[in-house]
Amino acid sequence: MSAALTPAPPLPDLSQVTRVDEVGVAERVARFQTRSIKTESKTAALKMILSMIDLTTLEGQDTPGKVRQLCQKAMHLHDQLPGLPHVAAVCVYPTMVGIARKALGDSGINVASVATAFPSGMAPRHIKIDETKIAVAEGADEIDMVISRGAFLQGDYRFVFDEIAAVKEACGEAHLKVILETGELSTLDNVRRASVLAMHAGADFIKTSTGKIQPAATLPVTFVMLQAIRDFHRETGRMVGMKPAGGISNSKLAIHYLVMLRETLGNAWMTPEWFRFGASSLANDVLMQLQKQATGVYQSADYFSKD
């Protein structure tokens, strides 16, 4: 007897997806950036941001040594400031997952891996599925997959939907973050439509960008995706996480993102389980700001390692 196949989830009717009011989005985003933050709330926010960061190395020149160095940084990021939370994950290419898994040990820091022919997504589906299974077998806790933007922009939603669903099944127990690469989607309506498609196909997280295309994460794009998550939760009861990635390099901007998160989705999403920052350089600025909160003075920009 042949093994039972997992039924394909139904494709949502994307013609019914709410159109985005771009002027309204701009006005809401502007207001998020004017909120007054008290000192004690700012300190709590900085610690929360630190716990939500995915430290990343995704370069063609990556080596086992460079990945081990990044893992060491993740585990000893703030030895001079004890009591702070560790980052959420280290993100690497599939061939480096085993190296990262061994280096991180039982630190509690997850291993995330980009699969599915990152960053272009230009590969046959069976290769994307095999790459995903290899990364999971090597110890990845999270898979970051990029959608096929060409197919999406041509309106072949069935192709994109089925591909996400197939990769989700290949993930097994690992969480799936679906990268929309919003810098290539042209309009906020497309961002909203791709968000709905990814969530219905099984995404555990939706993510703005690979970091290889500009513009990467922006406040308006992230706000549209947060609204899509909110509406999806109201419709289905299922929570989906959010990861803005690329271009968030300082604490002030990251706090604006947290304000927007809280006012759109509420406190339930304000944990590393449901929100991440894909911004390695952000960790250094967060630590500088926390040092300033503790001592009243800034350290130099080189006080915390950037490597």
Q: Is 233 exposed, middle or buried (0-12, 13-18, 19+ CB in 10 A)?
A: middle
SS3 205: strand
Spatial CA neighbour of 205 closest among 147, 134, 264: 147
Note whether 140 and 111 are within 8 A (CB): yes
Residue 232: what residue type? F
Q: Are 193 and 186 in contact (CB under 8 A)?
A: no
Record the tokens describing residue 264, joined without a space: 């759109």
The dihedrals phi and psi of 112, each to the nearest 5 degrees, come to: -110, 150
Known catalytic residue: 144?
yes
Alpha-carbon distance of 279 to 87, in angstroms, equals 11
pLDDT of residue 301: 53
10-residue mean pLDDT series, the chain (307 residues): 61 92 96 86 93 94 96 87 90 97 97 96 96 98 97 96 97 98 97 98 97 94 98 97 93 96 97 93 89 72 44
Is the CA virtual torsion 47, 28, 241, 192 positive or negative?
A: negative
The pLDDT of residue 28: 96
pLDDT of residue 69: 95
Task: Please indicate whether residue 243 is annotated as part of the active site.
Answer: yes
Q: What is the pLDDT of residue 307?
A: 37
Catalytic residue, from 54, 128, 141, 144: name it: 144
The pTM assigned to this predicted structure is 0.93
Determine the pLDDT at residue 79.
Answer: 78
Q: Could you say which of 73, 128, 168, 207 is catalytic? A: 207
Distance between first and last Cα of the chain: 54
Helix axes 64-75, 97-104, angle to 10 degrees: 30
pLDDT of residue 294: 75
Which residue(s) pair with 207 in the sheet?
A: 179, 243
